[in-house]
């Protein structure tokens, strides 16, 4: 159960004024194009685009190294990764090295954190809470660690977090193992934590789960924890709204 401090965090979230958050299900998308989309949305928000955005998707097999990462946590050569069809990126999120791939729900919230939300620790704990509530909805008991970020089960770490926050606008986010091929984690020291196991929802309940179903439930939990009214839209609709906003800024 959440500690007293965490309970206070959630009270702050639910008593804040409700903002809108567009949610998008993008399916399987390559890492570079989604990073470009994050940056486009983030730039628009820095210029006054009001709605927050939650991108939900899967990546093809990809390894990313965060700001605090160490290359010696990659246990194979880059040539081996190319032969296996695994991409690799060095990125500006926090955290160490991690894997993204099919069957893993990746969430990228691009939020403008409001007064009462402008605390990095609070933001990370709230992301964890979204996933803990989501997993409980599938009868999987999960918890947070007092010393490490992420979400954990009795069989190992099931979700990793890594974010970038500038001018209280967030990028990057979380990765939840749903039906993930966990053998890919043998290529790295996941999150730089040697000897720690990883788990997936499939490994916990012995059946595959529809990714869009998990994404929908994730968005619901996200809206509840962050006090956002979630509105599902298509990528084309979002791009049109971003372009309209850019034209208004240029014309002003």
As a whole number, mean pLDDT of residues 12-33 equals 82
pTM: 0.91
Q: With contact defined as beta carbons under 8 Å apart, do 100 and 62 qualify?
A: yes
Residue 130: other Cβ atoms inside 10 A: 25
Q: What is the pLDDT of residue 193?
A: 85
Q: What is the pLDDT of residue 14?
A: 44
Q: What is the pLDDT of residue 5?
A: 38
As a whole number, mean pLDDT of residues 69-89 equals 95
Q: Sorting pLDDT into bands at 50, 70 and 90, what band is 17?
A: low
Instruction: State what percent of residues in the chain have pLDDT above 90.
Output: 85
pLDDT tens figures, 192-235: 888 789 999 999 999 999 999 999 999 999 999 999 999 999 99
21: alpha, beta or left? (left if phi > 0; alpha if psi -120 to 50): beta
Q: With contact defined as beta carbons under 8 Å apart, do 218 and 105 qualify?
A: yes
3-state secondary structure of 60: coil
Whether 1 has a pLDDT exceeding 60, the answer reads no
CATH number of 4-245: 3.30.930.10
Round to whole Å and give the CA distance between 165 and 128: 17
Whether 19 has a pLDDT exceeding 70, the answer reads yes
pLDDT tens figures, 164-198: 999 999 999 999 999 999 999 999 999 888 878 99
Query: In terms of residues, how long is the chain?
Result: 252
Q: What is the mean pLDDT of the chain?
A: 92
Token duo for residue 33: 């194009």
Write out the E strands in 83-166.
87-90, 97-100, 104-110, 151-153, 156-166
Segment (H or E) for 56:
strand 52-58
Query: What phi and psi, each to the nearest 5 degrees, are found at residue 59?
Result: -110, 155
Longest dimension (CA), the chain: 56
As a whole number, mean pLDDT of residues 65-91 equals 94
Active-site residue list: 191
Residue ranges of domains in the chain: 4-245
Q: What is the pLDDT of residue 13?
A: 44
Round to whole Å and give the CA distance between 150 and 193: 12
Q: What is the pLDDT of residue 21?
A: 98
């Amino acid at each position: 159960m959440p500690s007293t401090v965490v309970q206070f965090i959630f009270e702050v979230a639910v008593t804040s004024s409700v903002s809108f958050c567009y949610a998008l299900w993008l399916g399987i998308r390559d890492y570079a194009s989604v990073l470009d989309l994050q940056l486009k949305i983030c730039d628009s928000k820095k210029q006054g685009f009001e709605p927050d955005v939650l991108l939900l998707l899967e990546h093809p097999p990809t390894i990313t190294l965060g700001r605090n990462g160490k290359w010696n946590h990659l246990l194979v050569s880059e040539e081996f990764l190319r032969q296996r069809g695994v991409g690799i990126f060095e990125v500006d999120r926090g955290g160490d090295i991690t894997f993204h791939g099919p069957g893993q729900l990746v969430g990228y919230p691009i939020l403008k954190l409001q007064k009462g939300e402008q605390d990095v620790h609070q933001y990370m704990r709230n992301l964890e809470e979204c996933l803990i509530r989501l997993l409980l909805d599938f009868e999987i008991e999960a918890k947070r660690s007092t010393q490490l970020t992420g979400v954990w089960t009795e069989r190992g770490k099931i979700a990793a977090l890594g974010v970038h926050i500038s001018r209280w606008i967030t990028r990057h986010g979380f990765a939840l193992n749903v039906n993930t091929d966990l053998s890919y984690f043998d290529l790295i020291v996941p999150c730089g934590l040697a000897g720690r196991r990883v788990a997936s929802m499939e490994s916990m309940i012995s059946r595959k789960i529809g990714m869009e179903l998990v994404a929908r439930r994730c968005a619901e939990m996200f809206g509840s924890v962050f006090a956002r009214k979630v509105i599902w839209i298509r990528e084309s609709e979002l791009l049109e709204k971003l372009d309209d906003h850019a034209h208004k800024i240029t014309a002003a």
